[in-house]
Structure 1
Amino acid sequence: MTTTEASFHEAQEDKNRGNEHFRNKQYEEACECYTLALSKPLNDADRAACFANRAAAKLKLEDYEGALEDCSEALNLDENYWKALYRREQCYLKLGRYEEALKDAKTLKEARQISSEEVQHIEQLKEREEERRKEEAITKLKEVGNSVLGYFGLSVDNFKLDKDPTTGSYNIRLEK
């Protein structure tokens, strides 16, 4: 057996030990084994599997940024690795990055890996987050407005903000 074959065999053993640790819910140990395997020569398919498996362990450890990076690495090696894409979509959701989650979900739906309902759920989450951000922006604008209007003996409470239900835009009017 050549040195390269021996290293490849060791990498496979590391990967298998990582899988065993994962099954036993020993996620940190699983990450270590997958990292060890990735430090050795592997073909692209096994390398992608190690990245995706390490991402799964990192997801369990709530290391969403790390899992996201690993999923992207796996997808760089195999763009049709649906498990990695699904895990990356889950990372984006956990990180509140709904636009990216929705993009991955749509790709998964086109590949018939997830249902339309799951895509709709992500769209709803994205819309709720956008609404929350709008409300947050309005609150900040009110704070700034109060700080400026205070010099004139006014407050934003002297103004009425009306949302147009057809366009979603806002109109401001002075109340006495």
Structure 2
Amino acid sequence: MNEAKVEGNKLFGEGLYDEALLKYDHAIQLAPEMSASAEIRAICHNNRATCFFKLEKYEDSVKECTKALELNPTYMKPLLRKAEAHEKLENYDDAITALKKIVELDPSNHQARRTIFRLEPLAIEKREKMKEEMLGKLKDMGNSILGRFGMSVDNFKAVKDPNTGSYSISFQQ
């Protein structure tokens, strides 16, 4: 088990990430499902995550980080790698979640704090963009239905009541 991991590390160092993945997988298979070997399996999953990251297979990197963290929830390397992979995938909220866990485990980690600060505006922007996209799709769907009756969603106006926060909808031609 340890020999396969060492071979994987050697291949990784040579930039042979696909071959290293196979060795780490072999090491995981050799490690028995006992708590004593959980640490070596967590390390191998983290190493696989790093290989996938180098190969720009970010979804696979996230999956391997998750496996490593299931075995060792306080393992910092896969938390950081998971945040980096989520950022590459533009899953900013997920990246921020991983980074907040890092800060929770290590309050002195200023790099994680800076990254959260940098990603928060991107997360807000992405949520707004998704909201606009969804509203556009809903409007298109509404227009396709209302169009059969010679109407459009533009014929309806929603007005928010400042006292209750509820909306009233009025029809306009």
Counterpart code for 1:38: I
Q: 2:49 aligns with which of 52, 55, 74?
A: 55
d(CA) in 2 for partners of 1:115, 1:66: 22
TM-score (norm 1): 0.75
Deviation at 1:74, TM superposition (A): 1.5
CA distance in 2 between partners of 1:105 and 1:53 (Å): 19
1:133-174 deviations in whole A, cap 9, x for unaligned?
A: 1111111122122213323433345567899xxxxx999777
CA distance in 1, matches of 2:70, 2:91: 20
State the match for 2:29 in structure 1.
39
Structure 2 vs 1, CA of residues 109 and 33 (structure 1 numbering), >3 Å: closer, same or farther?
same
Deviation at 1:99, TM superposition (A): 2.9
RMSD: 2.8
Q: Which amino acid aligns with 1:63?
A: K
Alignment of 1:123 with 2:120, yes or no, is: yes
Normalised TM-score (structure 2): 0.76
Is the 2:99–2:112 contact (alpha carbons within 8 Å) kept by the matching residues of 1? no
Per the alignment, in what secondary structure is the counterpart of residue 39 of structure 1? helix
Contact (CA 8 Å) 2:8, 2:21: kept in 1 or not?
yes
Structure 2: give runs of 5+ residues left out of the alignment: 161-165
Structure 2 match to 1:26: 16
2:146 corresponds to which letter in structure 1? L
- 2:147 equivalent in structure 1: 150
Q: How far apart in 2 are the matches of 1:51 and 1:132?
A: 34
Partner of 2:92: 98
Query: How far apart are the structure 1 equivalents of 2:156 and 2:5?
Result: 64
Identity %: 38
- Tell me how many residue pairs correspond in the alignment: 161
Counterpart check, 1:87 vs 2:81: yes
- Give, in whole Å, the separation in 1 of the partners of 2:168 and 2:132: 15
Unpaired runs of 5+ residues, structure 1, are 1-10, 164-168
**Using a 3 Å threshold, how does the CA distance of structure 1 residues 46 and 19 change in structure 2: closer, same or farther?**
same
Secondary structure of the residue aligned to 1:85 is: helix
Aligned equivalents of 2:169 and 2:102: distance in 1? 43
